[in-house]
Amino acid sequence: MLNRVFAGALALALPFAAVQAPAQAQEKVLKAVMHADVRVIDPVWTTQTIANIHGALVYDTLFGNDADQKPHPQMVGKYEVSPDKLTYTFTLRDGLKFHDGSPVTTKDVIASLKRWGAKDGVGQRLMGFVTKMEPVDDKTFTMVLREPYGMVLESLGKSSSSIAAIMREKDALTDPQQQVKESVGSGPYVFAKDQWVPGSKAVYLKNKDYQPRTEAPSSFAGAKIPGVDRIELVWISDPQTAMSALINGEIDFYEAPPNDFLPLLEKARGVKLLKTGKIDSTQGFIRLNHLQPPFDNVKARQAMYYLINQEDFLRAIVGNPKYYKVCPALLTCGGPYENAGGREWMKEYNPKKALQLLKEAGYKGEPITVLSASDHATITPATQVLIQAMREAGINVDAQSMDWGSVVTRRAKKDPPAQGGWNIFVTTSGGVGSANPILHTWIGAACDKGLFGWPCDAKIEELRNAFGMAQTEEERKKIATELQARAMEQVVYIPFGQWDTPLAYRADKIDGIVPNTGLAVLWGITKK
């Protein structure tokens, strides 16, 4: 009887299965689990990394920075810089087309750069130097500066935060404070909006009309050759499930497996771990509120250095020393502008001295409000280590536990802690952005216009500007050292180390992974 039931069920099921098989066999599909799900399709509207990974697949950029953060032409075929370094003339390469079939023109480019320049921090800085952008014809345009700025091409090719995505003019005319309604670019993959299930899956189809460059790929520079017919960014929110799915071969690529799972993945058959680009690490840091006592006093801020033993933080977050690095610096260790400036501040771990210095700065045991995220893989343990160190030193800690969404809301409040404000929060920054003083917005000290914590120091801002205007690498390195020394002295933030999150992938199923620098590079991956 049971056999007959099974046979009947099988007979019913077989036709459905048979219909599916041929379609799946023809298409090469890359299934990737990224660090977050695609919810926003406008890489300019938000600085969310995942929106920029989406943007990098769909949109192209004028320049692309390579693994060493050197800019190379991407959409641009040729460019010239006038001898006075005030006029840049860019000519687009042939054959650039949007996914709707329309050609990419300088009107689209100028509108896109204006929108990006109005929204993105690096774009705003660049546009501060730009007096005008004018089309010469459909393929050539000029960008005129009021004074020489040494970061024009690096800004256009950046891969951290919001990329300078080139959109259709009609999309680029959208208010920068509003999200574009359609995601139509000229990049190597076409966004299949009709198949998008926010919180579950985003689908990208190969752009058959895409004409890649001929140079070898290096991070965001060089050839972007779409390697598969279809990319599915599948969102698996449970890391344990994502790991099992990778081991089982249901997904091909896992962008950011938690550090706890690395030993298991190292042993899994068919799975390989790959360290990402040269400086694509994460930097963890503690931000103090410069507007509220006691940290409105520089001496109190400097006292906090004595509570930081980076090894304690890194062991709690990462565990395996293979994946972390002690780095008492603000500019990424291993990056082009790594330097010794201000490192002496973090030489000694001495909680007693920290309390003594705090008292000398006027601290009388008032509660210090720490925003303690309860749901973040790295920020949560780091905050716990900090709170423990503060309590051991005898500091009165008011640890306010909340989800990360509440932390990002509350940290924007400038009120005193008792009225909903804060004194300390912990966060992280990408190593690529942190490697360059212009891209690294957290190192800035632009007072009210700066990031949460609102450090205020004219000298730091002067040095950042000088870095942007420097014309030689030697000059830049010298300024970067001065800048870091000054920023450490003013305690714009306190770094607690640097770590890598290797990506995991099925080496028996996919090939051609380009180590990324800033954003995951998926376009070159091929299926075996």
Partner 1 sequence: MTAYIVRRLFATLPVMAVVALFVFFLLRFAPGDPAAIIAGEDATSEAIEAVRAKLGLDRPMVEQFFVWVTQLVRGDMGVSIFSNLPVTRLISQRLEPTVALTLSTLFVAVAMAIPIGVLAAWKVRKWVDRVVMGFAVLGFAMPVFVLAYVLIYFFAVQWQMLPVQGYQPIAQGFWPFVESLILPSLALGITYMALIARTTRASMLEVLSQDYIRTANSKGLATDRVLLLHALKNAAVPIVTVIGIGIALLISGVVITETVFNIPGLGRLTVDAVLKRDYPVVQGLILVFAGAKVLVNLIIDISYAFLDPRIRY
CB of 34 to partner 1, least distance (A): 14
Residues in the chain: 528
Q: Which residues contact 292 (CB under 8 A, 6 or more apart)?
A: 416, 417, 421, 422, 423
Report H helices in 214-304: 239-247, 262-267, 298-303
Give the residue from 116, 161, 196 showing the smallest Cα distance to 433.
161
Stretch that binds partner 1, among 42-50, 216-224, 326-334, 479-487 (CB under 8 A): 42-50
Q: Looking at 132, 146, 170, 181, which residue binds partner 1 (CB under 8 A)? A: 181
CB of 16 to partner 1, least distance (A): 4
Q: Looking at 166, 245, 390, 491, which residue binds partner 1 (CB under 8 A)? A: 245
Task: Rule CB under 8 A: say whether 464 interacts with partner 1.
Answer: no
CB of 173 to partner 1, least distance (A): 15
Residue number with CB closer to partner 1 (348 or 375): 375
| Placement of tokens 């929204």 in the chain | 119
CB of 424 to partner 1, least distance (A): 17
* Paired sense of beta strands 424-430 and 201-206, if any: unpaired
CB 351 within 8 A of CB 307: yes
Question: Tokens for 402?
Answer: 């909340």
Stretch that binds partner 1, among 11-19, 75-83, 103-111, 347-355 (CB under 8 A): 11-19
Task: Rule CB under 8 A: say whether 263 interacts with partner 1.
Answer: no
Q: Which residues between 128 and 167 bind partner 1 (CB under 8 A)?
A: 161
Label each residue of 331-350 as H, E or C.
CCCCCCCCCCCCHHHHCCCC
Q: What are phi and psi of 204, to 5 degrees?
A: -130, 130
Task: Rule CB under 8 A: say whether 40 interacts with partner 1.
Answer: yes
Assign 398 to helix, strand or coil: strand
CB 31 within 8 A of CB 252: yes
Interatomic CA distance for residues 440 and 332, integer angstroms: 10
CB of 52 to partner 1, least distance (A): 9
Task: Rule CB under 8 A: say whether 237 interacts with partner 1.
Answer: yes
Q: Return the axis-axis angle of helices 351-360 and 379-393, rounded to nearest 10°.
A: 70
C-alpha distances (whole Å) from 183 to each of 76, 168, 258 are 21, 9, 31
Task: Rule CB under 8 A: say whether 56 interacts with partner 1.
Answer: no
x/- map, 405-424, partner 1, by CB under 8 A: xx-xxx-x-x----------
x/- map, 100-129, partner 1, by CB under 8 A: -------------------x-x--------
Q: What is the DSSP string of 423-444?
A: SEEEEEEEHHHHTSTTT-GGG-
Give the residue from 280, 279, 278, 273 showing the smallest Cα distance to 258.
273
Q: Looking at 163, 172, 233, 247, which residue binds partner 1 (CB under 8 A)? A: 247
Peptide bond into 294 cis (omega under 30): yes
- Return the H-helix or E-strand segment holding 119: helix 106-119
Please report how many Cα atoms fall inside a 13 Å half-sphere around the Cα of residue 397, on the Cβ side.
22
CB of 256 to partner 1, least distance (A): 15
Stretch that binds partner 1, among 54-62, 242-250, 481-489, 518-526 (CB under 8 A): 242-250
Burial string for 136-154 (b: 16+ CB within 10 Å, else e) reads eeebbbbbebeebbbbbbb
Q: Looking at 30, 34, 41, 520, which residue binds partner 1 (CB under 8 A)? A: 41
CB of 402 to partner 1, least distance (A): 7
- Return the H-helix or E-strand segment holding 178: none
CB of 294 to partner 1, least distance (A): 22
Residue number with CB closer to partner 1 (161 or 276): 161
CB of 343 to partner 1, least distance (A): 25
- Return the H-helix or E-strand segment holding 466: helix 458-469
Report how many residues bind partner 1 under the rule CB under 8 A: 62
CB of 521 to partner 1, least distance (A): 20
Q: Looking at 110, 151, 163, 234, which residue binds partner 1 (CB under 8 A)? A: 234
Q: Which residues contact 1 (CB under 8 A, 6 or more apart)?
A: none
Please report how many Cα atoms fall inside a 13 Å half-sphere around the Cα of residue 379, on the Cβ side.
23
CB of 527 to partner 1, least distance (A): 18
Question: Tokens for 61?
Answer: 């950029």
Stretch that binds partner 1, among 74-82, 100-108, 247-255, 461-469 (CB under 8 A): 247-255
CB of 510 to partner 1, least distance (A): 18
Q: Which residues between 443 and 462 bind partner 1 (CB under 8 A)?
A: 448-452
Q: Which residues between 193 and 232 bind partner 1 (CB under 8 A)?
A: 196-201
Rule CB under 8 A: which residues touch partner 1? 12-14, 16-17, 19-20, 37, 39-41, 45-48, 51, 119, 121, 161, 175, 177-179, 181, 196-201, 234, 236-238, 240-242, 244-245, 247-248, 250, 375, 402-403, 405-406, 408-410, 412, 414, 427, 429, 433, 441-442, 448-452
